[in-house]
Amino acid sequence: MAIAEGIKEKICSEMSLFITEMLKERALNNIKKNIKEVIFKRPTQVILETTNACNLNCPYCLVGMQNELTSKYGNAAHNLMSRPVGFMTEETFDIVHRDLKSFGIKKVYLHFQGEPILNKLTPKFAVVLKKDGFKVGVFTNGQAFNDRNIAELAEAEIDLIRFSVDGASEESYQKNRVGGRFEKVYENMKNISLAHRGKKTRLEWQFLVLKNNEHEIDIAKKLASEIDVHFFTKGYRESVTELAPQNPDYKAKYHIKPCKDIYHQIGIYWNGDVVPCCYDVDGKEIMGNLHEGSLEDIWNSEKYMNFRKRVDNFKRSPHVEPAICKNCLRWK
């Protein structure tokens, strides 16, 4: 009997030790997970808006606000943006530049809700960022280039210049890129290509496929090849349903929620406002301003953490999911 009791006591002791060790390991794993989320699960890429002014007025511009705007106005054009229009100053850029470096950002794309080349300082910003080791890209409609800014960008030898050109004829292009001319943008692409010969900069023609231009894809591909610009089609996210292409292969596919983009990329407006998503085109979810606090402090703020929690927990608590996420054309 005494032997049995001893064995029982030993088994209980060993089980208790096993459970204790298991709980310690679990706690350690949770700590590791939390540390990993704090240190590693954070953006390394920024879209930096040097201006939200634009020289065009594309009918599908304000993606993310399409439900609200198309029901009222029949389109989601750029001129329906309500936030103030402005241009990033050198003072704001210096603050942003410092914070991007300290936060650990690796890639900076100079664009957001406007035409970056309208800000005459954009090439200078690109030079500074590239010299400081960032990967740098400029996304542009290609209408505002001249000899001076072409030369400045070529000197910077940034990583990527992407042209958004949604048509291969004046007829289709002017329907989509309202206020622009296809002849002008194609000439500018050709001149930029010539200026970048022998340089490492990748030049791309992004062709957003729509109902009125899908028949021009092969023509556009040929035109891009003739000026040594890489060509690719982009699937349409239906901000204006009537513009959707007939071929379903050219419609953008949804990703399955929860959204991962909020841990990959941050948006910064021309005035230093920080937003969590590229679809926040009109400042619905401003997390803070870099004139008032560092990017590190804004990212770790209660407001930003709460936003991420609401996005992550959309299934359990759909009623608290941010409005911009409910209208998302990328994650579903």
> How deeply is 202 buried, as exposed, middle or buried, from its count of CB atoms within 10 A (0-12, 13-18, 19+)?
middle
Task: Confirm if 208 and 164 have CB atoms less than 8 A apart.
Answer: yes
Kindly write down the DSSP assignment for every residue of 33-93, as one continuous string. Answer: HHHHHHHTSS--EEEE-SB---S---TT--TTSHHHHHHHHSS--GGG--SPP-B--HHHH
pTM surpassing 0.75? yes
According to DSSP H, which parts of 136-265 are helical?
147-156, 170-176, 182-195, 217-226
The CA distance from 299 to 293, in Å, is 10
Amino acid 73: pLDDT:
75
Amino acid 15: pLDDT:
61
Nearest Cα residue to 322 out of 309, 330, 332: 309
> What distances in angstroms separate CA 5 from CA 2, 12, 13, 14, 249, one per listed residue?
5, 10, 12, 14, 72
The token duo for 224 is 């891009």
Q: List, edge to edge, every strand of the sheet that includes 288-289.
A: 230-234, 202-208, 160-164, 135-140, 107-110, 45-48, 265-268, 273-275, 288-289
Kindly write down the DSSP assignment for every residue of 114-155, as one continuous string. Answer: S-GGGSTTHHHHHHHHHHTT-EEEEEE-S-S--HHHHHHHHH
Amino acid 27: pLDDT:
56
Beta bridge partners of 255: 331
The CA distance from 211 to 169, in Å, is 14
SS3 content of the chain, % helix, strand, coil (to 5): 45, 15, 40
Tell me the Cα Rg of the chain: 25
Sign (positive/negative) of CA torsion 43, 48, 53, 58?
Answer: negative
Per-residue pLDDT tens digits of the chain, which is 332 residues long: 555 566 656 666 666 666 666 666 665 654 444 444 444 589 999 999 999 999 999 887 777 777 677 777 777 788 878 899 999 999 999 999 999 999 999 999 999 999 999 999 999 999 999 999 999 999 999 999 999 999 999 999 999 999 999 999 999 999 999 999 999 999 999 999 999 999 999 999 999 999 999 999 999 999 999 999 999 999 888 767 788 899 988 888 889 999 999 999 999 999 999 999 999 999 999 999 999 999 999 999 999 999 999 999 999 999 999 999 988 889 98
